[in-house]
Amino acid sequence: MVDKKVQFNLPNQEELKNIKHIIMVMSGKGGVGKSTIAVNLAVALSLEGRKVGLMDIDMHGPNVMRMLGGTEKDHPYQVGEKIVPPEVNGVKVISVSQFVPESGKPIVWRGPIKTGTIKQFFNDIEWEELDYMIIDAPPGTGDEPLTVMQMLKKFDGAIIVTTPSEVSKDDVERAINFFTVMNKKVLGLVENMAYFECPSCHTKHYIFGKDGAKSLAEKYKLPILAEIPISEDIRINMDTGKPAAYFGKPEHVAPYVQLAKRVINEVEKDDKE
């Protein structure tokens, strides 16, 4: 659903020349915390001094606005012929949730409408100059990530989120192979919910198993970019719109900062001074 007050009539920006780096955050299955990783990566990159945009293409579960701290007032706005995305906690953001007036209203769309919306997000939004565009994709290898891969000439790579469980690993393998089929790079894996650290004795408990991402990383020769613990504090941060990468406890900020720095080291190594 698109707000009738906002008309998407800008000329196409074919190569998104004002955006230096484009990264997709993806998972093979739902429930692994992919949007949490995407939002906190965007915030952490911003804290590292980068100009960051966040595009939510998960049409049926658009959660990034809540997690980032957006409010009902944070809508794209029109200046002349330009549609400008709002900035929330240092990140420019666009999501279908900004155009759905009723909370909880389902997005009942087939593939062609979702594809058209993604094209609008790329072609008709004035992103201005960005160092990074982070794309939060829905689970799986369907219309949305396929549309992005077919549209983009410029793409730095994907970050694939998994948990240590065998079920998650099965689906993550499909996601890795999706990018192989599309001839696109995978930057590495993030293992979310990697462990629970007891607040009293600081013992680590591996609730969903151990070394799940490690086995995938070894099989596909990919780096593990970060291991994120299970934490009630992180969950509260994201539910209340206070991203853990900025508002969290130091031990929860650290892995997201590590993730951002590793991304920067990888994708900026060939940038011209």
Structure tokens at 259: 């993730």
Q: How far apart are CA 11 and CA 58, in angstroms?
A: 24
Chain mean pLDDT for the chain:
87
3-state secondary structure of 116: helix
State pLDDT tens for residues 122-137. 888 888 899 999 999 9
Residue 102 makes CB contacts below 8 A (sequence gap 6+) with none
Q: How far apart are CA 107 and CA 80, in angstroms?
A: 29
- pLDDT bucket at 7, cuts 50 / 70 / 90: very low
State pLDDT tens for residues 14-43. 557 889 999 999 998 888 999 999 999 999
Structure tokens at 24: 């997709």
32 assigned ligand-binding residue = yes
Q: Per mean pLDDT, which of 10-14, 60-64, 102-106 is the most reliable?
A: 60-64
**Among candidate residues 144, 145, 148, 162, the one with its CA nearest the CA of residue 37:** 162
Domain range 23-269, CATH class:
alpha beta
Sheet containing 19-27, strands listed edge to edge, beginning at the edge strand earlier in sequence: 87-88, 91-95, 52-56, 130-136, 19-27, 157-162, 186-191, 224-227
Average pLDDT over residues 69-89: 85
Tell which wins on pLDDT, 77 or 55: 55
35 assigned ligand-binding residue = yes
Q: What percent of the chain has pLDDT over 90?
A: 55
Residue 242: which region, alpha, beta or left (left: phi > 0; alpha: psi -120 to 50)? beta
Supply the pLDDT for residue 192. 94
Q: pTM of the prediction?
A: 0.90
Supply the pLDDT for residue 46. 97
- pLDDT bucket at 272, cuts 50 / 70 / 90: low
33 assigned ligand-binding residue = yes
34 assigned ligand-binding residue = yes
CB burial readout 179-216, b (16+ within 10 A) else e: beebebebbbbbbbbbbbeeeeeeeeeeebbeebbeeb
Supply the pLDDT for residue 221. 95
State pLDDT tens for residues 171-181. 899 999 999 99
CB under 8 Å, gap of 24 or more: what pairs does 247-252 form? none
Residue 29: which region, alpha, beta or left (left: phi > 0; alpha: psi -120 to 50)? beta
- pLDDT bucket at 102, cuts 50 / 70 / 90: low
Residue 43 makes CB contacts below 8 A (sequence gap 6+) with 52, 68, 89, 90, 91, 243, 245, 246, 256
Chain position carrying tokens 């900004």: 98
